[in-house]
Amino acid sequence: MGQFAVIGLGRFGSASSLELMRLGHSVIGVDINAKIVNQIADQLTFAAIADATDEHALKDLNITTCDAVLVAIGESLEASILCVLLLKNMHIKEIWVKATSKPHHTILSRIGVSRIIHPEEEMGVRVAQSLNYPMVNQYMSIGQNLYLVEIKISEKCQGTSIEKLLIGVKDSIDPLLVRRKNDIFKLIELSFVLEAGDSLVLAGSLNALKKIAPRLL
């Protein structure tokens, strides 16, 4: 179980906090708005009404013990930047920050944080991918033009082996696992025969994944 701090409990920060809790982690939630904190306090490990631009307030929350801090302040660019600077002065290494604009992103990249997040843009990409490939349940970029996708096997692919599905691109795509109802098959061979309703998880380049998309419709 990890320990995380989420600073800024708007819709994005609250959703992130609650999901971390659901995954079994400990979460310190921080916001300057008492109403927002009170609404979510009972669902977090600890919630505090505090000004994230006040170094003493941050130190009192013992945030330095956290594995990572997510700065999700959305209304004030100045507050977000100042908070990040204070966290870096506290020698917190893993800092993830929600960026609200290109200037915000530019400043964060120059300061140097672990990851800059653009929630609306990233969700927009996911929605576009889902519309383009309706058979894809999950889609995630892992960098270096590599992606993880979870594909729902249709009736069309009933009885098809993974090798046949990946003809022409099997050197560019790695099958990771198959979920069939309550069973999960790991370390699967290319000879594995798929059934309608299976969920197949693949890792590969976007171009290679695009090539097999028409075979799945």
- Per-residue pLDDT at 28: 96
Q: CA-CA distance, 211 to 209, in Å (whole number)?
A: 5
pLDDT value for 17: 93
pLDDT tens-digit profile, the chain (217 residues): 789 999 999 989 999 999 999 989 999 999 999 999 999 999 999 999 999 999 999 999 999 999 999 999 988 899 999 999 999 999 999 999 999 888 999 999 999 999 998 887 666 666 555 555 555 666 677 777 788 888 888 888 899 999 998 888 877 889 999 999 899 999 899 999 999 999 999 888 877 877 787 777 6
CATH of domain 127-216: 3.30.70.1450
pLDDT at 74: 81
Distance CA 177, CA 47 (A): 38
Q: What is the pLDDT of residue 211?
A: 79
At residue 192, the pLDDT reads 94
Query: Would you list the domain boundaries of the chain?
Result: 3-120, 127-216
Q: Do domains 3-120 and 127-216 have the same CATH topology?
A: no
Instruction: Tell how far CA 207 is from the center of its chain.
Output: 22
pLDDT at site 31: 96
Query: How do beta strands 199-205 and 146-152 pair?
Result: antiparallel
How many CB atoms are closer than 10 A to CB 56? 9
Check residue 177 and give its pLDDT: 93
Give the pLDDT score at 191.
93
Q: What is the pLDDT of residue 154?
A: 86
Q: What is the pLDDT of residue 139?
A: 66
Structure tokens at 25: 């982690």
Mention every residue, 6+ apart, whose C-beta is less than 8 A from residue 183: none
**Highest CATH level, class, for 3-120:** alpha beta
